[in-house]
Structure 1
Amino acid sequence: MAIWIPDLKGRRGPKYLQIVDAMAEDIASGHLLPNAKLLPHREMAYQLGISANTTSRAYAEATRRALLRGEVGRGTFVRAPGAILENGEQGSLLRQENGPIDLSRNLPLPGFSEPHIRRILKKIAADARLPTLLDYQTDNDLAHHNEAARIWLSNCGIDAATDQIVMTMGGQHGLLCSLMSVLNAGDLLLTEALTYTPVRAIAERQGLNTAVVEMDECGIIPEAFEELCKRAKPKAFYLTPTLQAPTTLTLSAQRRMALAALAQQYNVVLIEDDVFGPLKIDRPPPVATFAPDHTIYVTSLSKSVAPGLRVGFLYAPSRLVPALRHAINLSVWMTPPMTLEIATRVINDGTAFKLAKQQRDAAAHRQTLARTVLKNVDYTSDPNGLHMWIRLPADWRADSFRAQCAKHGVLVTEGRSFAAPSETAPEAVRICLSHEVSELRLTKGLQVLASLHHQAPSTSVMEI
């Protein structure tokens, strides 16, 4: 792996802070990967033509912001983003009963689905069709899976014909296949100014160019989208109109219709991420209903039914379906029939919709709890959402706030993780209310966050 050297061209301010800012941006963009080893202080100073004291100061500030970790006798390494533990290791996705309180993982509450999945697995084990589910399949072999997908899509507000449906291994796999099928290296992909981080990573791996569409307090600005359509000729636009991560915003029907009209006018494919859609039953119709010939609609069961049930459904124009199925074939060969069978049975017997309601009720309860604890904190949230967007006072930097939260045993995600370029990010953090099973731990974490929000940063750094 190439040794990282910060690009300081065009940067202003103290040199050591220029280094830290470059480091934070490259970590957020994925250019500087977790656990990457940095040059020693003196060698970095030699490469940059500056004093070793300056690089030492930069490394110290980056460590204070929880960007780096030092290991005695081994060197200095990039910390994993998100879940930062005291020993510098990345936290597990398992729901822990002790250790740091994790408000960084945007996952639904577990537990609701377990008895239902146990019941369904017993039925599948006794079914004569079990050998078929354990063999290779094509999209034409198990039509009842496709019919269950149509039922789920109908519940999401999408009236899909069977030849417009593609089944995937979850929503993120659906996004990967959508980008693979629509764009080629060098094409331009638009995203919201604050967006789902893995999409940018996928775009970079595929050699795509990216640009962002400005947002305001109501979400995507249609005029900004049109300006980019005229000037830059984008091929596709990835967006999350409902319970947007990280801002929690839901686009109005008026803006959805405006974006759909522009996509049709300028021949741009919209990739509509609606994995949170089933949590918000009063949302406007999907964008795909306004521009069905220019939209790939992505949904899944993971956020609203069962976190580990990695099944997603795509609705797309018939002309794009062959390319989407080819992308699935290239990435995983086939969506596992056994997992699809579980999903099909959960949908067909109505359990999926009951579980989605339980998630909605749990989200509403935890939002009420959070609003009580954070009553004097500046935030945006939605009663049906799993996360909140916390804006910080003027004297806080998001990376410093995240580091202080981690120091007090609470994990949050800073705004730079969602911004491209990262220097445009607001000083804000996203917190998630559903990863922690214990409400006592959640409440304690929120209390720590509220307390820090009202304090000045505990450590100031003198500029040189």
Structure 2
Amino acid sequence: MAIWIPDLSNRDGPKYLRIVEAMAEDIATGCLPAGTRLPPHRELAYQLDVSPNTTSRAYAEAVKRALLKGEVGRGTFVRSTDAASGQAEPETLRRRESGPIDLSRNLPMPGLSEQHVRRVLSEIANETSLPSLLDYQTDADLVHHLAAGQTWLAHCGVSSELECIVPVVGGQHGIMSVLMALLQPGDLLLAEALTYTPILTMAARLDLQTGAVAMDDDGVVPEAFEAWCREANPKAFYLTPTLQAPTTVTLSKERRARIAEIAAQNGVILIEDDVFGPLKSNKPAPLAQIAPETTIYVASLSKAVAPGLRVGFLKAPTKLASALHQSVNLSVWMTPPLTLEVARRLIEDGTAGELTAQQQRIAKHRQNLVQSILGIEAVPNLSDGFHVWLPLPEGWRADVFSSECARLGVHVSEGRSFAMNASDAPEAIRLCVSHEANEERLKRGLEIAAGVLRQKPIGSSMKI
């Protein structure tokens, strides 16, 4: 077959998307059958008289849309389609055993909790308490679940009265419930300049203004937070002081104390997301312990115990607990009693702590793998979590690096994915080392990323 050269005439938009659209049409019409090997992106760039960066981005986008697949050492091929629907298999959160290697999703290792959850479910199924767990619950019914939440919070380093604990359906639901409870349309929500991606979406849905608090190598800068308080009127500040996503930084106790002081002086509520906290050894005291009357603490079992359990706990200042309860009631009425009961038993019999320790050991092992494969110069400092922050060498653009990795069958996350403001987006990549359960696939993915890192930057100075 002759080299495939797409027809880009009569198409609008960025050139790389024109290539993807032409590719999709040719696949749909059979002009590009499944298994067809596409030309190297540099060769296609030459044929189309565009930059190699353009074709690299086109191939990466086509991989994301499940039109193409990259095979290391062989090239890039048109993917097979589902015979019944004629559509390529969509990307999901499913952990694959073949195909693209996913280093973009920050999920804990699967499977560690399965035998324990099976045991607990079996126990519940054989007890007379099951019917009550399948019915609506009263506050009195929740007391033993709140006690388990109190134990989990203590494991995370936070003490709390039962009336200040609010069960939620995982950390993300907890954050959304806090925003719904405390902020009104038009209120200003601050977050770290690089932050948890759904925050901007949540803020947009609730019609909130947002502001980015500057960061340095040691995390969020207290003086930048103070400047926002002086020049604007923020209602809340969302931040992740421990194993910050994406940078992995853990704030020092001095910065935590200063941020707590600034928040108290200016009447700003701190929303402390500590879902990664259980993975960090020897972490400083949480903000919620330093400033319990100005901090709402978000804890979850998803990152440390079982990702699908979807159980978390909010610890609120006494004056705000009622509003958070009402917000949770509005969104889901109640956290499912059955999953809460599973979580309670895992917490109270010590299993949750054991599973967290296992995740910590795996995280440390896999962090060492990253450093051994990418090199100590690329990754000089290891964190205790499941993600790595990789500032790129001079000359590399993050979108180009990501595109080249995707072309070779590895998905990574660009720094811009986490930027509150596009102008703050660093030329950096986040690598996650836990989504891939098979260690050999993880190693291959890291080796591919390391190979790209050793290359001369591909068209980084060229316009798309």
TM range (shorter): 0.7 to 0.9
Assess if the C-alpha contact under 8 Å between 2:243 and 2:383 holds in 1: no
After alignment, is 254-263 or 58-67 more displaced? 58-67
Q: Do the aligned partners of residues 274 and 378 (structure 1) sit closer, same or farther apart at CA in structure 2, a change above 3 Å counting? A: same
SS at match of 1:379: coil
Whole-Å separation in 2 of the counterparts to 1:120 and 1:57? 62
The structural deviation recorded for 1:64 is 3.5
The structural deviation recorded for 1:290 is 1.4
* Structure 2 partner of 1:330: 330
Whole-Å separation in 1 of the counterparts to 2:325 and 2:379? 41
Aligned AA (1:292): P
In the superposition, the TM-score normalised over structure 2's length comes to 0.82
Q: How does 1:287-326 map to 2 (within 5 A)?
A: 287-326=287-326
Q: Do the aligned partners of residues 273 and 361 (structure 1) sit closer, same or farther apart at CA in structure 2, a change above 3 Å counting? A: same
In the superposition, the TM-score normalised over structure 1's length comes to 0.82
SS at match of 2:293: helix
- Percent identity between the aligned chains? 53
Assess if the C-alpha contact under 8 Å between 2:53 and 2:459 holds in 1: no
* Structure 2 partner of 1:375: 375
Whole-Å separation in 2 of the counterparts to 1:89 and 1:214? 40
- Answering whether residue 243 of structure 2 is matched by residue 243 of structure 1, we say yes
Whole-Å separation in 2 of the counterparts to 1:395 and 1:141? 60
SS at match of 2:399: helix
- Answering whether residue 431 of structure 2 is matched by residue 439 of structure 1, we say no
- Answering whether residue 67 of structure 2 is matched by residue 65 of structure 1, we say no
Whole-Å separation in 1 of the counterparts to 2:187 and 2:153? 29
- Offset from partner CA, 1:419-461 (integer Å, 9 cap, x none): 0212321101100011111111111111110110111234567
* Structure 2 partner of 1:206: 206
Whole-Å separation in 1 of the counterparts to 2:61 and 2:102? 19
- Offset from partner CA, 1:302-353 (integer Å, 9 cap, x none): 0001111100000001111111111111111110000000000000110000
The structural deviation recorded for 1:378 is 2.4
- Answering whether residue 148 of structure 2 is matched by residue 148 of structure 1, we say yes
Aligned AA (1:415): G
* Structure 2 partner of 1:8: none
Pair member with larger Rg: 2
Aligned AA (2:137): Q
Assess if the C-alpha contact under 8 Å between 1:243 and 1:382 holds in 2: no
Aligned AA (1:445): G
Whole-Å separation in 1 of the counterparts to 2:258 and 2:247? 20
The structural deviation recorded for 1:95 is 1.4
SS at match of 2:261: helix
Whole-Å separation in 1 of the counterparts to 2:432 and 2:107? 8
Assess if the C-alpha contact under 8 Å between 2:299 and 2:313 holds in 1: yes
The structural deviation recorded for 1:383 is 3.8
The structural deviation recorded for 1:142 is 2.5
The structural deviation recorded for 1:463 is 5.1
* Structure 2 partner of 1:131: 131
* Structure 2 partner of 1:282: 282
* Structure 1 partner of 2:108: 108
* Structure 2 partner of 1:9: none
Q: How does 1:29-428 map to 2 (within 5 A)?
A: 64-65=56-57, 90-375=90-375, 377-379=377-379, 381-428=381-428
Whole-Å separation in 2 of the counterparts to 1:235 and 1:63? 45
Aligned residues: 406
Aligned AA (1:325): H
- Offset from partner CA, 1:370-427 (integer Å, 9 cap, x none): 1111115523653411000111122211111111101111110000100021232110
The structural deviation recorded for 1:167 is 0.2
Q: Do the aligned partners of residues 435 and 421 (structure 1) sit closer, same or farther apart at CA in structure 2, a change above 3 Å counting? A: same
- Offset from partner CA, 1:68-91 (integer Å, 9 cap, x none): 8579xxxxxx969xx999768652
Q: Do the aligned partners of residues 172 and 396 (structure 1) sit closer, same or farther apart at CA in structure 2, a change above 3 Å counting? A: same
Whole-Å separation in 2 of the counterparts to 1:290 and 1:262? 13
Whole-Å separation in 2 of the counterparts to 1:178 and 1:382? 32
The structural deviation recorded for 1:115 is 0.6
- Offset from partner CA, 1:258-306 (integer Å, 9 cap, x none): 0000000000000000000001130000011111111100010000011
Q: Do the aligned partners of residues 101 and 68 (structure 1) sit closer, same or farther apart at CA in structure 2, a change above 3 Å counting? A: closer
* Structure 1 partner of 2:29: none
CA RMSD of aligned residues (A): 2.7
Whole-Å separation in 1 of the counterparts to 2:355 and 2:384? 14
Assess if the C-alpha contact under 8 Å between 1:279 and 1:385 holds in 2: yes
- Offset from partner CA, 1:40-81 (integer Å, 9 cap, x none): xxxxxxxxxxxxxxxx9999966642598579xxxxxx969x
Q: Do the aligned partners of residues 229 and 461 (structure 1) sit closer, same or farther apart at CA in structure 2, a change above 3 Å counting? A: closer
Assess if the C-alpha contact under 8 Å between 1:380 and 1:388 holds in 2: no
Whole-Å separation in 2 of the counterparts to 1:347 and 1:335? 17
The structural deviation recorded for 1:20 is 5.9
Structure 2 gaps, min length 5: 1-12, 18-23, 25-47, 71-75, 80-87
SS at match of 1:293: coil
- Offset from partner CA, 1:141-172 (integer Å, 9 cap, x none): 22110100000001111110000000000000
- Offset from partner CA, 1:341-366 (integer Å, 9 cap, x none): 00000001100000000000110111
SS at match of 2:313: strand
Aligned AA (1:65): R
Q: Do the aligned partners of residues 182 and 365 (structure 1) sit closer, same or farther apart at CA in structure 2, a change above 3 Å counting? A: same
Assess if the C-alpha contact under 8 Å between 1:405 and 1:452 holds in 2: yes
The structural deviation recorded for 1:93 is 1.1
Q: Do the aligned partners of residues 137 and 381 (structure 1) sit closer, same or farther apart at CA in structure 2, a change above 3 Å counting? A: farther
Structure 1 gaps, min length 5: 1-18, 24-34, 36-55, 72-77
